[in-house]
Amino acid sequence: MNDRASSLRSLEALLFISDEPVTLAVLAQALGAERSEVDAWCQELARGYEEREAGLTLRNVAGGWRLTTHPEAAPVVEQFVLASRHIRLTKAALETLSIVAYKQPVTRHQISGIRGVNSEGVLRALVDRGLVAEVGREETPGRPVLYGTTPEFLERLGLPSLSALPALAPLLRAGAGDAEAETADTD
Is the separation of the CB atoms in 108 and 119 below 8 Å?
yes
Please indicate, yes or no, if residue 153 is contained in any of the structural domains.
yes
* Full domain range(s) for residue 147: 91-186
CB 158 within 8 A of CB 59: yes
pTM over 0.75: no
Task: Report the C-alpha gap between 75 and 94 in whole angstroms.
Answer: 20
User: Within this chain, do residues 143 and 56 fall inside the same structural domain, yes or no?
Assistant: no
pLDDT, tens digit, 9 for 90 and up, residues 52-94: 999 999 999 988 999 999 999 988 887 775 554 556 788 899 9
Q: Is residue 82 part of a domain?
A: no
Domain match, 97 and 182 both: yes
- 98 and 178 assigned to the same domain: yes
Q: What is the mean pLDDT of each run of 10 residues along the chain (187 residues)?
A: 88 92 95 96 96 95 92 83 62 92 95 92 91 94 95 87 84 57 43
- Residues 179, 141 share a domain: yes
CA neighbor of 99 nearest in space, from 117, 80, 79: 117
Q: Is residue 65, in this structure, part of any structural domain at all? A: yes
How many domains is the chain partitioned into structurally? 2
Separation between Cα atoms, residue 67 and residue 129, nearest integer Å: 21
| CATH code for the domain of 39 | 1.10.10.10
The reply to whether 105 falls in a domain is yes
